[in-house]
Amino acid sequence: MKIVFLDRDTLSPQTTLRRPTFEHTLQVYGRTAPYEVAARIADAEILIVNKVRLTPELLAAAPKLRMVAVAATGTDNVDIAACAAKDIVVSNIRNYAVVTVPEHTFALIFALRRSIVAYRDAVRAGRWQQAKQFCFFDYPIRALHGATLGVIGEGVLGSAVAEMGRALGMRVLLSAHKGRSDMGTPYTPFEDVLAQSDVITLHCPLTPATRNMIGAPEFALMKRRPLLINTARGGLVDEYSVGSALEAGQISGAAFDVVSVEPPPLDHPFMALLDRPDFLLTPHVAWASDEAAQGLADQLIDNIEAFVRGAPVNLVRPHTV
């Protein structure tokens, strides 16, 4: 059975990818450009991808393909409906980042809430010596204890972030994405979470229902000037509206680990915000602790072996909403 991995470089070099136990050949590519995909998957039976985009046209060029094993949780780069139409099984990775993503989320929250980077840069620029006393107060420092944390997303990551927030003494509000009205207790309506939260953190998949779910109208509802944190998926926020929201004081800070185009081009609106003390951008690494990356790689091979045994797991099906 031929397995092709199109973008191995999306996993760190120290991550070990064990060989499946069944008889196979494995072709590994570090990166694959869009124009290279069709030729590389032409005779693949199992395809491993992380971020390479698979369109119906590309899938049609792989007549032997039986499985797409996504080396990530998000699958918006794969046309799931086209796979289903061709009886191609799609699996993804589940629950491997339940520690590392919440930790990174709170690293960003702490950094902004206490102006860590701004103070670090000020010290490096000589501001402490200029102050001529034991401290200075150029940037805001706010406690998290007693603040309200709005968690948008009903999955395992959102639940883990909520648990961390409660451990820090925060009041936690849970909400599904905009437009959901069928959640009931303990969920709070989306618009109420926007209005009441001091920190808003996103933990939703990217679907047609969640794309650009936060933009100018939603920023206008944020009465408490919250921090906005996105360690989930690029595209959940209208990225062109973030700078305006910061300038207008509708939010007190924003931190993103994900962007709709990765890496962002130099003219992306986020690149113009990098010198602001109230904005942070990290390169999609919330998931990437050594421990989590190894867990991902192990589960990836587990998924493939389960498929070959005839008992596939972690199946991804077309969205019905």
What is the pLDDT, as a whole number, of residue 73? Answer: 87
- Whats the size of the chain, residue-wise? 321
pLDDT at 183: 67
Would you state the pLDDT for residue 184? Answer: 66
Q: How confident is the model at residue 263 (pLDDT cuts 50, 70, 90)?
A: very high
Q: Which two tokens stand for residue 223?
A: 């009465």
Mean pLDDT of 246-261: 97
pLDDT at 320 over 60: no
Mean pLDDT of the chain: 95
> Tokens in use for 207?
């679907």
Is residue 262 annotated as part of the catalytic site, yes or no? yes
pTM for this prediction? 0.87
Residue 321: which pLDDT band, with cuts at 50, 70 and 90? very low
Residue where the block lists tokens 């409660």? 166
Residue 34 DSSP symbol: G
Angstrom distance (rounded) from CA 229 to CA 109: 7
Please give the share of the chain, as a percent, with pLDDT higher than 90: 90
Banded model confidence at residue 182, pLDDT cuts 50, 70, 90: low
CA distances from 77 to 68, 260, 305, 310 (A): 11, 12, 23, 25
In the block, which residue shows the tokens 């136990």?
21
Annotated catalytic residue within 40, 104, 233, 239: 233
The predicted structure's pLDDT at residue 208: 87
**Per-residue pLDDT tens digits for 35-86:** 999 999 999 999 999 999 999 999 999 999 999 999 998 898 999 999 999 9
Instruction: For the chain, list the domains and their CATH numbers.
Output: 2-95+290-308 (3.40.50.720), 100-281 (3.40.50.720)
Identify whether 268 is a catalytic site residue.
no
131 three-state secondary structure = helix
Options 166, 262, 291, 309, the catalytic residue: 262
**Of residues 40, 177, 203, 284, which has the active-site annotation?**
284
- pLDDT mean over 288-294: 95
Assign 187 a pLDDT band (cuts: 50, 70, 90). Answer: confident
Residues 6+ away with beta carbon under 8 Å from 135 = none
Give which of 94, 49, 42, 90 is closest to 66, Cα–Cα.
Answer: 90
**Cβ neighbour number for residue 265 with a 10 Å cutoff:** 8
